[in-house]
Amino acid sequence: MTVTLADVAARAQVSPATVSRVLNGNYPVAASTRERVLKAVDELDYVLNGPASALAAATSDLVGILVNDIADPFFGIMASAIQSEIGGPGGRAGGERLAVVCNTGGSPERELTYLTLLQRQRAAAVVLTGGAVEDAQHKAAMDAKVRKLTDAGTRVVLCGRPQAPETGAIALTFDNRGGGQELTEHLIRLGHRRLGYIAGPEERTTTRHRLEGHRAALAAHGIEEDPRWTVHGRYDRRSGYEATLELLRRDPTLTAVVAANDSVALGACAALRESGLRIPEDVSVAGFDDLPFSVDAVPALTTVRLPLTEAGARAGRIAMGREEPPPGGITSVRGELMVRGSTAGPRA
């Protein structure tokens, strides 16, 4: 039925061992023999049996990429960059690795299960993207799992996620706190004193860090924050829309709205506009991430650009062992404030 190594061997008049060595190319094989084998492979249309090969060799060429939401370009861009370095077919790398992206949907259980699945497949490496969930129990479970993976020789790289010390993972984190602070400081310098903040889901590190940066900026300028100015939601446009209406209801005198990310900011803009407010004349709006569509918003969105592509590529290279991990196994990547039309001084 299906063609096996033995079939190829028979046709090429060599032993299975030789065929295997030709295919893996890590053992001297005479040119003439190699040719004969390759010809047989071609004629028989032979396709290696991955599982069998992985079993015998005790390694696989699978590399897992975990993302929170594959429909969100934030993750898509990182995944794309990681994958381009992982190799995969046609990638920059040599070997043919199967880079697979797994969508956790932000669910802690799924995250864990995917890790187990990857462990089960004896993945060569795993890259975890995006913020982590801040639940002590889940964090412990994750750390243990990561520890197990690294112990088993799987390289684990975190991209945009805080370090899990003692787990053997390499971390490339984003300076969300610094970015958040810089962004809010920009608004304060423009003269804003009453700033609404639309945060992401409560329990995520990314959410907390960005919010902390925002608050640090307020504190640094002696602005006392009104609890009504902060609303939590999801990282999507819809959430930004609803949260903004809520914010407006709570305090119609706000002169600026800072959003957890660009999608949320877009939703905020829509809500403001529908409420008859002009941007930035009546209310300034700021986002985070600088996704491709942000520059096309009207007015263009002031935001913090995160080097997603660069960070992803680097994470990919580290995962493949083609770049030295940062000293200490952790490094923080800074964002860059992009001042655009959606922010201006408050109405007089």
Partner DNA sequence: AACGTGACAGCAAGCGCTTTCTACGTGTCC
Partner DNA sequence: GGACACGTAGAAAGCGCTTGCTGTCACGTT
Residues binding DNA (CB under 7 A): 2, 4-6, 13-18, 20-21, 23-24, 26-30, 32-33, 46, 48-49, 52-53, 55-58
Amino acid at 2: T
**Residue from the set 25, 45, 222, 327 that interacts with a copy of itself by CB under 8 A:** 45
Cα 179 from Cα 210, distance rounded (Å): 7
What end-to-end distance do the CA atoms of the chain give, in Å?
A: 80
From a copy of itself, DNA, none, interface partner of 32 (C-beta below 5 to 8 A by class): DNA
Region near a copy of itself per CB under 8 A, out of 4-12, 107-115, 130-138, 210-218:
107-115
Tokens coding 112: 């864990």
193 sits in the region (left: phi over 0; alpha: psi -120 to 50; else beta) called alpha
Work out how close the CB of 114 gets to a copy of itself at its nearest, in angstroms, rounded to a whole number: 6
Tokens coding 344: 């201006």
Count of chain residues binding a copy of itself (CB under 8 A)? 65
Query: Is the Cβ of residue 29 or residue 257 nearer to DNA in the bound state?
Result: 29
From a copy of itself, DNA, none, interface partner of 18 (C-beta below 5 to 8 A by class): DNA
Q: Which residues contact 258 (CB under 8 A, 6 or more apart)?
A: 180, 183, 184, 187, 195, 196, 197, 198, 214, 285, 286
Work out how close the CB of 202 gets to DNA at its nearest, in angstroms, rounded to a whole number: 39
Closest to 164 measured CA to CA, from 115, 113, 200: 115
From a copy of itself, DNA, none, interface partner of 266 (C-beta below 5 to 8 A by class): a copy of itself
Cα 103 from Cα 87, distance rounded (Å): 20
The three-class DSSP label of residue 196 is: strand
Cα 324 from Cα 327, distance rounded (Å): 8
Query: Is the Cβ of residue 8 or residue 338 nearer to DNA in the bound state?
Result: 8
Query: Is the Cβ of residue 76 or residue 326 nearer to a copy of itself in the bound state?
Result: 76
Query: How remote is the C-alpha of 178 from its chain's centroid?
Result: 19
Query: Is the Cβ of residue 33 or residue 103 nearer to DNA in the bound state?
Result: 33
**Using CB under 8 A as the criterion, which residues of the chain lie in contact with a copy of itself when the complex forms?**
2, 45, 47-55, 60, 62, 69-73, 75-77, 79-80, 83-84, 88-90, 96, 98-103, 105, 107, 109-110, 112-114, 116-122, 148, 152, 236-237, 263, 266-267, 269-270, 273, 292-293, 295-298
